[in-house]
Amino acid sequence: MYDYGMSSVLAHAESILLSPTELAAALEVHQQQAAVLALAVAHVQEAGRWADDGSVTMRSWMRDTCRMSDRDAGEWLRRGKLLNHFEPIAEAALDGLLSHSQLTELERCNRPKYEALLREMVEGLVNEVAPLDAQLTAAVCQRWRERADAIIEEHEPAEEPERSLSFSRAGDHAVLGRFTLDDAGGSELETAIRNAITHEGKNETRSLAQRQGDAFFDICAFYNKNHRAKGTKRNLPNMSFSVHADTLTGKNPEAINLDEWRHMSGAYADTKMCDCAVHKVLRDATDQPQAFGRTQYIVPQRLFRQLVERDCGCRFPGCTRTVKHCDAHHIQYWRNMGLTDYWNLVLLCTRHHHLVHQQSLQLDLQPTGELRVTWRDGRERVSPPRHGPPRGAPPHPSAVFAFA
C-alpha cells in the first residue's frame, strides 16, 4: 500500500507556500504549460500514434493510459483542436495572454458552422478578449456567436435538400429502416436501381420488391468493392471477423463480426472466406492473442487475373455482371481443404456468390470451362464457357496456391 507520509508534502513545502503575487505568476505558467500539453495532445492525435497499443481512438487511449474520465479526455481533445487550428489563439495562450477560462469561452465559438467565419475573424476576436476577464470574455464571445448566426443566416441557401436515412438491426439480424429523398436523390436512386436490377427470364421467381432489394444489395456491395478509400489492393470490403479454428472444417464455422461484435451465419462467413485477405491471430486457451501472422490474400492477385481472363465476369447461368462485381468462389470450400487453384475457383457476382452459399448449390467446372450448377432439389443449369481456357492455363487440376 502507498505510504501517505508527509515527506512528499514537506519536500514541496517551499514551492507550495507562495505569496499571492507568486501564486498568480505560477498559475499563469501552469496555464501556459497546459496550452503546450494541449498542442501535444493534438499532435499525438493527428500522428495516430495512440493506436500503437491497440487503442481504437485517441479518446479511449487517454481514458486507459492517463486514467481520465471520458469528459476530461474530451476537454483536452477540444482544447488541442482549438489551439492547433487557430494559430493566433495558440500564440496568445502560449504567451500567457489567454487564461484557461477564456480559452473555454473561445472554444464555444469553434463549432463547425462557425469555422469559416472564425478563421476570418479570429485575430480581431483574440485581440478583443485578451485584456478582459473571464466574464467579459464570455459576453464578447456570446455577442460574436449571435453576429455569426446572423451572417450565416443571410448567406444560407433557402433550404437544405431533405434527405434522411435511418436504420437499425431487428431481432433476427435483418436491417429495417426508412428513408426520405428529395427529387435529386430520388432520381439517383431510381436510376441506380434501374441499372442494377436483374431479371432471370423464364427462370425468374422473384417478385419486383425482391428484385429491387437484390439490386439495392448489389449497389452497396459494388460500392464496397470499388470505392477509392483506403482498403485492400482489390478493394475487398474491409470487414474483420474472427473464426474459431476448431469449427473451421465443420458444417458451420463459428464466426463473429468483430466490427459489429455479432455472430455471423455460417453461409455468410463462408462467402466472405472464399475471397478475402486473411490475417491470422493465434489465441491461447483463455482467448488471449498469442501471435499475429502476416496478412495474406486467399486468392493471390496473379491468380485472380487468370480467372478474370477465363471467366470475364459472373459465371452464374444467365448472369452478365462484370468483374467489378465479382468475388472468386472456391467450388470446394477453402476451409474444407479446397485448393486455391485455377480449376477450383470461379468468379461470381456478390449476389450469386451469397446465393450459392446460402442455398448450398453444387458447382461443377468442366475442363472445357463449362459450369454446371445443381440445386438441392436436383434442378440443374449450365453456364457455357466464356472464352475457353486461356492459353498457358495450368493443366487440370493443379495447385497454383495453397493457403498454409
Residues interacting with Zn ion, by CB under 5 A?
274, 314, 316, 319, 321, 329, 349, 352
Give the bridge partners for 346, in sequence order. Answer: 329
Closer residue to Zn ion in complex, CB, 360/366: 360
Instruction: Give the span between the Cα atoms of 138 and 143, in whole angstroms.
Output: 9
Shortest separation between residue 159's beta carbon and Zn ion, angstroms: 42
Shortest separation between residue 337's beta carbon and Zn ion, angstroms: 15
Is the distance from CB of 254 to CB of 244 less than 8 angstroms? yes
Closer residue to Zn ion in complex, CB, 97/197: 197
Q: Please enumerate in sequence order all residues whose Cβ is within 8 A of that of 85, keeping only pairs 6 or more positions apart, or say none.
A: 110
Instruction: Tell me the DSSP string of 262-317.
Output: EEE-HHHHHHHHHS-EEEEEEE-TTS-EEEEEEEEESS-HHHHHHHHHHHSB--ST
Closer residue to Zn ion in complex, CB, 79/310: 310
Shortest separation between residue 298's beta carbon and Zn ion, angstroms: 10
State the DSSP H helix or E strand holding residue 138, giving kind and residue range, or none if neither: helix 134-155
Is the distance from CB of 55 to CB of 64 less than 8 angstroms? yes
Shortest separation between residue 276's beta carbon and Zn ion, angstroms: 10
Closer residue to Zn ion in complex, CB, 80/253: 253
Query: How many CA atoms lie less than 13 Å away from 193 in the CB half-sphere?
Result: 14
Shortest separation between residue 311's beta carbon and Zn ion, angstroms: 11
User: Which one-letter DSSP state was computed for residue 368?
Assistant: T
Among candidates 234, 374, 240, which has minimal Cα distance to 299? 234
Closer residue to Zn ion in complex, CB, 137/350: 350
Shortest separation between residue 211's beta carbon and Zn ion, angstroms: 13
Shortest separation between residue 120's beta carbon and Zn ion, angstroms: 53
Give the bridge partners for 177, in sequence order. Answer: 167
Among candidates 328, 326, 353, 329, which has minimal Cα distance to 222? 326
Closer residue to Zn ion in complex, CB, 79/353: 353
User: Strand 255-257 to strand 241-243: parallel, antiparallel, or no bridges (unpaired)?
Assistant: antiparallel
Residue type (1 letter), 78: R
Residue type (1 letter), 134: A
Closer residue to Zn ion in complex, CB, 274/365: 274
Q: The C-alpha cell of 103 is what?
A: 480559452
Shortest separation between residue 216's beta carbon and Zn ion, angstroms: 16
Closer residue to Zn ion in complex, CB, 126/349: 349
State the DSSP H helix or E strand holding residue 369, giving kind and residue range, or none if neither: none
Q: The C-alpha cell of 384 is what?
A: 457455357
